[in-house]
Amino acid sequence: MQDADRPAAATVEQLAETVREAGELALRTFRQPLRQWTKGTSPVSEADIAVDTFLHGRLDRLAPRAGWLSEEAEDDPARLDCEQVWIVDPIDGTRAYLAGDPQWTISVALATRGRPVLAAVFAPATQELFLAAAGTGATRNGVPIAASPGAHVAGMKVVGPKRHLNWLAGVDGRATTVPRIGSLALRLARVAQGELDIAFAGGTSHDWDLAAADLLVHEAGGALTNMIGRALTYHRSEPVHGALVAAGRDRHTALINLVRNRAELA
């Protein structure tokens, strides 16, 4: 990572302040009646739009030449001409938010040449702020975090879609499954902090679900890749990704080797 790609400490602090303010905005309507509708198969609420609008205005000032890619904004192809892009999910886990479940987040990443270099995942209901900048490590509420060490699967805490959990049970039935977390970004952040050992994602995740958490996992000593071990590239014309796995680096390597030997998940 070149020094020019490493965001300044002041920029990290400005991002932290921005997502905290966005969290305060979202909390005003959390567990309150609000207007909601469906986009495709996904729920959207007026809170999603309000937070997206707030973030767009503030982040544009932080990196004015960066493009914009958000779940709640129309995708402007002009972003592909930008070297940098903000990748945003204003409320990741809208179903959880609407159900009054605290496991939702605000997820923001700045990507340069297809990889995240600055990231924030904020869970306002539990006041957990995860931050990472390329080459500087990852933190939760200012305290450094690390993915769990080791290469074994037995006894490890794992979360993900049923298909992946069934596959892992067939490989090693001693892993411990935990309830699925509504926010994919938070699910991956739990891997970064070592609270979860393995997290799978199905084949319908987008850049905005992943980019911030990807940097968190990487800077915490873990890896997030597709099922053949390839790192993700963001800011493409189609921001959709296939099945994914995240874990500490040694355990991630062991899981990828298992997939290669049993190709049904590849």
Q: Residue 265: which pLDDT band, with cuts at 50, 70 and 90?
A: low
Does residue 259 lie in a domain region? yes
- Examine the pLDDT at 266 and tell me if it is beyond 60: no
Give the type of residue at 92: D
Q: What mean pLDDT is predicted for residues 25-49?
A: 91
Give the type of residue at 166: N
Of residues 38 and 212, which shows the higher confidence score? 212
**Which residues lie below 8 Å from residue 46, measured CB to CB, with a gap of 6+?**
29, 34, 35, 36
Q: Are residues 164 and 127 part of one domain?
A: no
Does residue 17 lie in a domain region? yes
Write out pLDDT tens, residues 117-154: 999 999 999 999 999 999 999 999 999 999 999 999 88
Does residue 105 lie in a domain region? yes
CB atoms within 10 A of CB 209: 26
Q: In the chain, what are the helix, strand and coil shares in percent, each to the nearest 5?
A: 35, 25, 35
Tell me the whole-structure pTM to 2 decimals: 0.93
Write out pLDDT tens, residues 46-103: 999 999 999 999 999 999 899 999 999 989 899 999 999 999 999 999 999 999 999 9
Does residue 57 lie in a domain region? yes
Question: In Å, what is the CA distance from 155 to each residue of 17, 162, 165, 249?
Answer: 38, 18, 13, 17
Q: Are residues 139 and 18 part of one domain?
A: yes
Residue ending a domain, choose from 120, 144, 168? 144
- Examine the pLDDT at 6 and tell me if it is beyond 50: yes
Number of domains in the chain: 2
Q: What mean pLDDT is predicted for residues 152-162?
A: 92
Does residue 116 lie in a domain region? yes
Q: Are residues 122 and 221 part of one domain?
A: no
Does residue 150 lie in a domain region? no
Write out pLDDT tens, residues 233-248: 999 999 999 999 999 9
Question: Rounded mean pLDDT of the chain?
Answer: 92
Phi-psi region of 109 (alpha: psi -120 to 50; beta: other; left: phi over 0): beta
Q: Are residues 121 and 94 part of one domain?
A: yes
Query: 227: domain CATH number?
Result: 3.40.190.80
- Examine the pLDDT at 8 and tell me if it is beyond 70: no
Q: Are residues 185 and 109 part of one domain?
A: no
Q: Residue 22: which pLDDT band, with cuts at 50, 70 and 90?
A: very high
Q: Are residues 254 and 186 part of one domain?
A: yes
Which candidate, 95, 19, 99, places its Cα nearest to that of 51? Answer: 19
Q: Residue 2: which pLDDT band, with cuts at 50, 70 and 90?
A: very low
Residue ending a domain, choose from 101, 119, 144? 144
Does residue 38 lie in a domain region? yes
Q: Are residues 165 and 137 part of one domain?
A: no
Write out pLDDT tens, residues 161-211: 999 999 898 887 788 999 989 999 999 999 999 999 999 998 889 999 999
Q: What is the domain extent for residue 20?
A: 3-144
Question: In Å, what is the CA distance from 32 to each residue of 39, 48, 189?
Answer: 21, 14, 27
Q: Are residues 60 and 98 part of one domain?
A: yes
Query: 120: domain CATH number?
Result: 3.30.540.10
pLDDT for the residue 207: 97
Does residue 152 lie in a domain region? no
Q: Are residues 128 and 35 part of one domain?
A: yes
Residue ending a domain, choose from 113, 144, 175? 144
Q: Are residues 62 and 101 part of one domain?
A: yes
User: In DSSP terms, which residues pair with 120 in a beta bridge?
Assistant: 108, 131
Q: Are residues 225 and 99 part of one domain?
A: no
Q: Are residues 252 and 209 part of one domain?
A: yes
